[in-house]
Structure 1
Amino acid sequence: MTPQITLYITKSSPYGHYVEIALRETQANYSVYEVDLVDKPSWFTEKINPAGKVPAISYGGSPAPADNPSPSSFKLAESLVILDFITDIFPGSNLLPIDPVDRASTRFLLNLFSTTLRTACVGIAALRESPEAVLHAIDKLQVHMPAPESLGQFVTGDTFTLVDAVAAAYLLRFDRCLERDIGSFPEGEGVKVHHILRTSERFTRYRAYLSTLAERESVKASFPEEQVLAQLRDFWVGNRASA
């Protein structure tokens, strides 16, 4: 029997989303606790993550409520570290290849996607940068996305890996937020960039990949779209209003 797993997240965050996607891909039995980062409970920093950041997990230990986890449970934070841990405790999940060379190559792509997409996300969410930052990020990564004529649906081929989990969490947010002009950028700029992404031949490969990710059950089941967009609108557009 698998030890208990509790995932602490806020649904608006792509970091927690890609961790949850990974857990769903393993078919793990886990529970989710949403942490209010605006009114963060004291027990979270005291018992889960002293840094107060999500995502975080507790693993193992005796059965206990999420807000009072067993002292014997293992606590872990930092999203990419948690992804590594998930692949270790579920080695048959195929989220990382077994072959050392393929595994290293996938880790390289994971770092590339997470760094590139995170930078673009921070820019449009908080730094009031042009949403064209998203265009540049996607353009940089498109060479690694499956071509429409290729046999594989995902970045490394036929198998969904951690790279695809990270890509899904960011790309879905970019697509939905730009479509609704949600961001710290000037009003109206998001819709323009969304139109380019949805119509330009330059982004054909991206559109095919996004469609594949959006239909993945682990992605759909962990993405309550309206809740996520409402939370992001409050923060991202709030930054625009205060400019």
Structure 2
Amino acid sequence: MTPQITLYTTKSSPFGHYVEIALREARADYSVYEVDLVNKPPWYTDKVNPAGKVPAISYGGSPAPADAPSPSSFKLAESLVILDFIIDIFPESNLLPIDPVARASTRFLLNLFSTTLRTACMSIAAFRGSPEEVLDAIDKLQVHMPAPGSGRFVTGDTFTSVDAVAAAYLLRFDRCLERDIGSFPEGEGVKAYHVLRTSERFTRYRAYLATLAKRESVKASFPEVSEKVLAQLGHFWVGNRAFA
């Protein structure tokens, strides 16, 4: 029997989202606790993650409520570290290849995607960056997105941790730019969305995004709560527009 897993996250977080996608890909039995980052409960920093950030997980230990986790459970924070942990405890998930060379190559791409997309995300969410930064980030990564006839995902026909990270960011970019949600000047997001959706420059991106959006692990962890997610993102991201 697999030890209990509780994921502490918030639906607006791409970091927590790709961890949840990985858990679904692994067919893990887990529960989710939604952390209110505006009114963070004191027990969260005391008993789960002293840094107060999401995501975090508790693993194993004696049965206990999510808001009073067992002291004997293993607590882990930092999304990419959690992702590695999931890969280790669920090797059958195929989130990383077994072959050492392919494994290293996938890890390289994971670092590239996560770093590039995180930088663009933080820029438009909190630092009044231009949506052009999102376009440039996607364009930079397109060479690694599947070309026609090369497979459905970044490394071929197998969904890996790279695709989990890509899905969490790219779906948010798509929906937020369409609705002009961001710390950028009003109207700039819609312009960028139009470019992404119509320009020949982003043909490969659009095909990849459509494939990711159809993946069951992605659909189950995002679209049905997308309006809630967007409301949360709007609260945080558009609020920063006042300083633009």
The reply on whether 1:118 has 2:112 as its aligned counterpart is: no
- The CA deviation at 1:16 is 0.1
- The CA deviation at 1:165 is 0.2
CA distance, structure 2, for counterparts of residue 6 and residue 221 of structure 1: 17
Matched with 2:201 is: 202
Counterpart of 1:127, as a letter, is F
Runs of 4+ off more than 4 Å? none
Please list the CA deviations of residues 105-152 of structure 1 after superposition, one character each: whole Å capped at 9, or x if unmatched: 0000000000000000011001101100000000000000001x2241
RMSD between aligned alpha carbons?
Answer: 0.6
CA distance, structure 2, for counterparts of residue 239 and residue 119 of structure 1: 17
- The CA deviation at 1:78 is 0.1
CA distance, structure 1, for counterparts of residue 236 and residue 243 of structure 2: 11
Match of 1:39, SS? Answer: coil
Q: Percent of aligned positions with the same letter in both sequences?
A: 85
Matched with 2:228 is: 227
CA distance, structure 2, for counterparts of residue 151 and residue 52 of structure 1: 42
Match of 2:46, SS? Answer: helix
Matched with 1:150 is: 149
So what's the TM-score if we normalise by structure 2? 0.98
Matched with 1:218 is: 217
- The CA deviation at 1:241 is 2.3
The reply on whether 1:188 has 2:187 as its aligned counterpart is: yes
- The CA deviation at 1:242 is 3.7
CA distance, structure 2, for counterparts of residue 83 and residue 233 of structure 1: 27
CA distance, structure 1, for counterparts of residue 242 and residue 190 of structure 2: 17
Matched with 1:86 is: 86
Matched with 1:70 is: 70
- The CA deviation at 1:51 is 0.6
Match of 2:195, SS? Answer: helix
| Unaligned residue ranges in structure 2 (runs of 5+) | none
CA distance, structure 2, for counterparts of residue 91 and residue 193 of structure 1: 39
Please list the CA deviations of residues 167-191 of structure 1 after superposition, one character each: whole Å capped at 9, or x if unmatched: 0000000000000000000000000
So what's the TM-score if we normalise by structure 1? 0.99
Match of 2:32, SS? Answer: strand
CA distance, structure 2, for counterparts of residue 165 and residue 91 of structure 1: 16
CA distance, structure 2, for counterparts of residue 151 and residue 191 of structure 1: 31
Match of 1:71, SS? Answer: coil
Match of 2:221, SS? Answer: coil
CA distance, structure 2, for counterparts of residue 137 and residue 162 of structure 1: 19
CA distance, structure 2, for counterparts of residue 67 and residue 118 of structure 1: 29
Match of 1:33, SS? Answer: strand
